[in-house]
Amino acid sequence: MAHGAVKMPLTELIDSNLQPSVGTDAVNKVLHAIRNHLDMDVAFVAEFRTHDRIFRHVDARDRTPIVSGDAAPLEQGYCKRVVEGRLPELIPDTQQVPAAQALPDTQAIPIGAHLSVPIRLSDGRVFGTFCCFSFAPDPSLGERDLKVMHVFAALLADQIDRDLEQQRTLEQRKRIVTSALDAGQPSILYQAIYDLSTRRLAGLECLSRFRLEPQRPPDEWFAQAAGVGMVVDLELAAIRNALSALPSLPTDVYLALNCSPQTLLSGRLHELLLSAGLGRIVLEITEHDYIQDYPALLSSLAPLRAQGLRVAIDDAGAGYASLRHVLNIQPDLIKLDISLTRDIDSDPKRRALASALIAFARETQARIVAEGVETQAELRTLRQLGAGCAQGYFLARPMPFMEAISRPFPSA
């Protein structure tokens, strides 16, 4: 060998570098392992494009004429010639191969020894090549080394197949979300929130619905949008559609808009809300949303709150994060999650926890909204505990805007 290294057996090389499975991050480890195993100076994976090849991954001993991201004409160099059979896959000494000597790169780099094998995907296409070269000839290279290259090329092809499938899935999901936006979705239904002391309409929570295929619950649509980096676009579309009802809203009724911290911190929400007027808008931040930087969130909220925006913590009591949200954000409204209001009339533990949150809200000048009220008994208990407002199927289901603003408090 050119540098006197001892080659590791192929099975041991695979076991030490590729177990339990090859992942995307492991490609560079594969290159490093094979380059060390063969004692070569440079190893790389090149992807073939229409007119050029791009070096996706590069590993080198010291100096290297190429780095990841570089591109070169497809007709230049060894790669395409090897795939087409115009150069052998194994060249221990380029001086012995006239076709290699004729290439400008052979002298310029220089290339003394070269190994290159195609990376063939499961559909038969050639993705590119997996290559190694040394600046000096290496007569010790042989068919066993070429076999090692083919084994690793197959492993890389398998990983690239998985990556491409993931990319296709991602693009398909993006197209579905984009089609929803292009169709003007989501549509909005409104659920009445009643003041329990006056029995009058206090607010309307704006709830997204998707009237297109594939049929699925709204939370799945927003989860899919989040998975492809489009949740801000979808939330802003929902908020924009919900705000269309604001001119027809009674002056003493507010609109409650659901919003993730990500959308709030994007900076794109402010112009939309400021143009609508903030005095009758409540922004609901769900308890389930993870907030990494409370100071940044509060800074983003400050100019909106200064112009009248109110903030609610949604689903309070549903999990451990709710009190953190309440303490850090200091909301104007605290919405009790359905897990607290369900059967509160017959469950002393739920009553105790709800009572504690209601007392906390009273001390901090926040207002309580009880969600998910489904029975007269639950409503009676919540009123006795001091909840200021309530919503739920017993009071009103989500419905079109004009029905929601005209629905009276139930008499039963």
CB atoms inside a 10 Å sphere around CB 299: 11
Residue 131 lies in a domain: yes
Verify that 299 and 393 share a domain, yes or no.
Answer: yes
All residues at 6 or more sequence positions from 38 whose CB lies less than 8 Å from its CB, including other chains: 7, 115, 132, 141, 145, 148
Q: Rounded to whole angstroms, how far apart are CA atoms 402 and 407?
A: 9
The better pLDDT of the pair 17, 222 is held by: 222
Structural tokens at position 345: 């009339």
Confidence band of 10 (pLDDT split at 50, 70, 90): very low
Question: Domain holding 83: CATH number?
Answer: 3.30.450.40
Task: Return the pLDDT at 1.
Answer: 42
**Among 168, 195, 226, residue at a domain's last position:** 168
Task: Return the pLDDT at 287.
Answer: 56
Q: Model-level pTM greater than 0.75?
A: yes
Residue 411 lies in a domain: no
Verify that 133 and 282 share a domain, yes or no.
Answer: no
Verify that 360 and 300 share a domain, yes or no.
Answer: yes
- Burial category of 32 from C-beta neighbours within 10 Å (exposed 0-12, middle 13-18, buried 19 and up): middle
Verify that 329 and 288 share a domain, yes or no.
Answer: yes
Question: Domain holding 324: CATH number?
Answer: 3.20.20.450
Structural tokens at position 256: 């409650």
Verify that 354 and 249 share a domain, yes or no.
Answer: yes
pLDDT at 11 over 70: no
For the residues 180-185, what does the mean pLDDT come to? 96
Torsion over CA: 399, 405, 406, 410 (sign): positive
Verify that 215 and 154 share a domain, yes or no.
Answer: no
For the residues 202-214, what does the mean pLDDT come to? 93
Verify that 338 and 189 share a domain, yes or no.
Answer: yes
Confidence band of 310 (pLDDT split at 50, 70, 90): very high
Task: Return the pLDDT at 319.
Answer: 67
Q: Rounded to whole angstroms, how far apart are CA atoms 197 and 104?
A: 87
Dump pLDDT digits (tens) for 329-352: 999 999 999 999 999 999 999 999
Nearest to 213 by CA among 204, 222, 221: 221
Residue 1 lies in a domain: no
Q: Rounded to whole angstroms, how far apart are CA atoms 107 and 101?
A: 7
Q: Rounded to whole angstroms, how far apart are CA atoms 162 and 165?
A: 5
**Among 168, 191, 215, residue at a domain's last position:** 168
Verify that 273 and 158 share a domain, yes or no.
Answer: no
Q: Rounded to whole angstroms, how far apart are CA atoms 182 and 176?
A: 10
Task: Return the pLDDT at 409.
Answer: 93
* In the chain, % of residues over pLDDT 90: 78
11, 94, 165, 333 from 258: Cα distances, Å: 55, 66, 33, 13
Residue 286 lies in a domain: yes
Confidence band of 28 (pLDDT split at 50, 70, 90): confident
All residues at 6 or more sequence positions from 140 whose CB lies less than 8 Å from its CB, including other chains: 1, 2, 92
| Contact (CB, 8 A) for 242 and 228 | no
Using only C-alpha atoms, the chain has a radius of gyration, in whole angstroms, of 32
- Highest mean predicted confidence (pLDDT) among 18-22, 79-83, 264-268: 79-83
Confidence band of 178 (pLDDT split at 50, 70, 90): very high
Q: Which of 12-26, 138-152, 167-181, 273-287 has the lowest mean pLDDT?
A: 12-26
pLDDT at 411 over 90: no
Confidence band of 276 (pLDDT split at 50, 70, 90): confident
DSSP annotation of 373: -
Verify that 230 and 159 share a domain, yes or no.
Answer: no
Domain that holds residue 164: 10-168
- Please give the order of strands across the beta sheet that includes 42-48: 71-73, 52-60, 42-48, 126-134, 113-120, 90-91
Q: What is the mean pLDDT of the chain?
A: 90
Residue 363 lies in a domain: yes
Residue 247 lies in a domain: yes
User: What are the percentages of helix, strand and coil residues in the chain, rounded to 5?
Assistant: 45, 20, 35
- The DSSP-derived string for 203-219 is EEEEEEE--SSSP--HH
**Among 138, 168, 198, residue at a domain's last position:** 168
Verify that 160 and 301 share a domain, yes or no.
Answer: no
For the residues 208-235, what does the mean pLDDT come to? 93
Verify that 17 and 134 share a domain, yes or no.
Answer: yes
Dump pLDDT digits (tens) for 367-404: 999 999 999 999 999 999 999 999 999 999 999 999 99
Verify that 228 and 369 share a domain, yes or no.
Answer: yes
Residue 176 lies in a domain: no
Residue 188 lies in a domain: yes
pLDDT at 223 over 60: yes
Task: Return the pLDDT at 289.
Answer: 63
Task: Return the pLDDT at 22.
Answer: 38
Domain count, the chain: 2
Kindly report the backbone phi and psi dihedral angles of residue 409, in degrees, each rounded to the nearest multiple of 5, phi listed first: -60, 135
pLDDT at 320 over 80: no
Task: Return the pLDDT at 364.
Answer: 92
Confidence band of 25 (pLDDT split at 50, 70, 90): low
* In the chain, % of residues over pLDDT 70: 92
Dump pLDDT digits (tens) for 53-79: 999 999 999 888 999 999 999 998 999
- SS3 assignment, position 21: coil
